């Protein structure tokens, strides 16, 4: 497996982790906050500290995942850019009419 495919798969997996963590965090926070007044929400948070800590942990996973996504996108696009530069063997073979792959 070449490094571009490996980076792309890791990027996809990271995206899924970020998406799931974001959805779970939103679900947990909505269950804590409810639709009552601010004082009711604060009392509910005070009574359910572990649930609030889980929501905070999920938000931290989301934040870290977004940073990882940015780094992986940079790495993947740099590799793609190098493969598509005018002097690369793939581009030269493409101009001749060959795919450059075996």
Task: Please state the domain count of the chain.
Answer: 1
pTM over 0.75: no
- Whether 101 is covered by a domain: the verdict is no
- Whether 85 is covered by a domain: the verdict is yes
- Whether 102 is covered by a domain: the verdict is no
pLDDT tens across 42-67, in order?
999 999 999 999 999 999 999 999 99
Name the token pair of 6: 């490996």
- Whether 89 is covered by a domain: the verdict is yes
Domain extent, residue 31, equals: 3-96
- Whether 78 is covered by a domain: the verdict is yes
- Residue 49 CB neighbours (<10 A): 9
Confidence of residue 37 (pLDDT cuts 50, 70, 90): confident
Find, among 89, 77, 66, the residue nearest to 4 by Cα: 77
What is the rounded average pLDDT for all residues in the chain?
83
Evaluate whether 40 touches 94 at the Cβ level (below 8 Å): no
d(CA 100, CA 90): 5
- Whether 32 is covered by a domain: the verdict is yes
């Amino acid at each position: 497996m070449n490094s571009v495919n490996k980076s792309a798969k890791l990027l996809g997996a990271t995206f899924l982790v970020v998406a799931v963590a974001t959805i779970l965090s939103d679900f947990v926070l909505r269950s804590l906050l409810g639709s009552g007044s601010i004082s009711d929400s604060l009392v509910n948070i005070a009574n359910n500290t572990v649930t609030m800590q889980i929501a905070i942990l999920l938000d931290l996973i989301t934040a870290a995942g977004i940073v990882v996504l940015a780094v992986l996108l940079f790495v993947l696009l740099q590799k793609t850019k190098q493969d598509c530069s005018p002097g690369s063997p793939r581009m030269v073979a493409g101009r001749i009419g060959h795919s450059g792959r075996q």
